[in-house]
Amino acid sequence: MNPVRQIFLDTETTGLSPEAGDRIVEIGCIEMVNRRLTGQSKHFYLNPERKGNEEAIKVHGLTDAFLADKPVFAAVADELIEWLRDAEIIIHNAAFDVGFLNGELKRLKRPMFHTVAGKVTDTLLMAREAFPGKANSLDALCKRLEVDNTHRTLHGALLDAGLLAEVYIRLTRGQDSLVIHEDAGDPAHPKADMAADLSAFDLQLIDPTPEEFAAHEAVLADLDKASKGKTIWRNAVA
């Protein structure tokens, strides 16, 4: 089985519209292979060759002065493309980042981003399907899925790519097994993706104390009263 290579990608930009001439000022990427973060990453600050938008700078903190001596996109394009090539690229709100990457590639007369990536996965669309009607920003998902983002005071491409990796892992964690294997997804362990066989475990049964049993019965009685006698377990016993 070929290894599954996924890359979490995020960008920061001078504004909201590549069509209006806004440019990328930061790219952050983090690699995962077979659902394990490898520790490999790519990170670039870029000179956008234009002034930044004040509102955008408030978001990411990358000033014109800071970016003045950084490389332009053309100088890092080959390195970035080769590192991303054929991988599944995972992005939150992919249309935004891919639009900017295509804008940069178009200026260089290079093939568009879909010819580089093996696949593009949008976690915003995944989150909207999983949590319809709820806020699904990266911050909202971090809170909902208990990913610690307390150190995120400003947006940063590499930082956000790391948070996205944690969100994605939790968002896609299977519910087939009660046991989470350390080697999940590892092709060297052919049973890694199978549901756990719990028959090998000696499960100890502990009877409740009389006080615990009485408290449990009181809770069931309250539920039965609240449902006006329609609780399933009472009907099943009857």
Q: What are phi and psi of 12, to 5 degrees?
A: -120, 150
The DSSP annotation for 2-34 comes to ---EEEEEEEEESSS-GGGT--EEEEEEEEEET
Angle at which helices 94-107 and 73-84 cross, to 10°: 120
Local structure of 62: helix, strand or coil = coil
- Of 154 and 159, the one with more pLDDT: 159
Residues 56, 155: Cα–Cα separation, whole Å: 10
| The pair of three-digit structure tokens given for residue 158, joined into one six-digit string | 């590499």
Predicted structure pTM score: 0.73
pLDDT at residue number 36: 94
- Per-residue pLDDT band at 116 (split at 50, 70, 90): very high
Lowest mean pLDDT among 48-57, 60-69, 160-169, 213-222: 213-222
Q: Is 60 a catalytic residue?
A: no
Local structure of 218: helix, strand or coil = helix
**Closest listed residue to residue 80, CA positions, set 96, 64, 97:** 97
pLDDT at residue number 199: 53
pLDDT at residue 8 greater than cutoff 70? yes
**131-152 confidence digits (pLDDT tens):** 999 999 999 999 999 999 988 8
Judging by DSSP bridges, how do beta strands 5-13 and 24-33 pair with one another?
antiparallel
Judging by DSSP bridges, how do beta strands 24-33 and 88-91 pair with one another?
unpaired
Q: Taking the domain 5-171, which CATH number applies?
A: 3.30.420.10
**Closest listed residue to residue 114, CA positions, set 85, 92, 91:** 85
Q: Which helix (H) or strand (E) holds 110?
A: none
Bridge partners for 91 per DSSP: 122
The DSSP annotation for 173-216 comes to --SS-SS--TTTT-TTSTTTTSPP-GGGS-PPP-PPPHHHHHHH
Structural domain spans, the chain: 5-171, 206-237
* Catalytic entry in 60, 92, 114, 155: 155
Measuring CA to CA, how many Å separate 108 from each of 25, 29, 52, 54, 143? Answer: 16, 21, 21, 27, 39
One-letter identity of residue 146: E
